[in-house]
C-alpha cells in the first residue's frame, strides 16, 4: 500500500514522533479523539454540507486521501 502523509499526521509527528508512529502503524492503540477534536471533526463535516448546498451540481468523492490520484482521474474523465 502506498502511504501518503496527511496534514494532520504531519502535525501530529511534529508534536510527538511516537504519536505519528502509532497513527500509521497501530491506529487501534491510539487514544480516542478528545471532545475538542470531535468538535473539529463535526465542523469539517458541516463545512462539507454547506459546500454541497452552495454547489449542488458538484461531485462528491468518497475516495480515501491516500488514493488522491484515483479521485483526480474520476474528476477528469
Looking at residue 77, what is its pLDDT? 58
In a domain, 14, yes or no: yes
How many whole angstroms separate alpha carbon 64 and alpha carbon 3?
11
* Residue recorded with cell 479521485: 71
In a domain, 34, yes or no: yes
Q: What is the pLDDT of residues 40-63, one digit of tens each?
A: 989 988 998 899 899 888 877 777
In a domain, 11, yes or no: yes
Structural domain span for residue 15: 7-76
Looking at residue 68, what is its pLDDT? 75
In a domain, 1, yes or no: no
pLDDT more than 90, % of the chain: 19
Q: Which residue has the higher pLDDT, 70 or 43?
A: 43
Q: What is the mean pLDDT of residues 15-31?
A: 86
Q: Which residue has the higher pLDDT, 53 or 30?
A: 53
Q: How many domains does the chain have?
A: 1
Looking at residue 1, what is its pLDDT? 52
In a domain, 68, yes or no: yes
Amino acid at each position: 500500500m502506498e502511504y501518503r502523509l496527511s496534514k494532520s499526521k504531519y502535525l501530529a509527528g511534529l508534536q510527538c514522533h511516537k504519536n505519528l508512529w502509532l497513527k500509521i502503524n497501530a491506529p487501534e492503540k491510539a487514544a480516542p479523539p478528545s471532545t475538542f477534536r470531535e468538535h473539529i471533526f463535526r465542523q469539517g463535516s458541516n463545512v462539507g454540507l454547506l459546500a454541497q448546498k452552495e454547489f449542488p451540481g458538484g461531485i462528491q468523492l468518497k475516495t480515501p486521501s491516500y488514493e488522491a490520484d484515483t479521485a483526480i482521474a474520476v474528476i477528469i474523465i
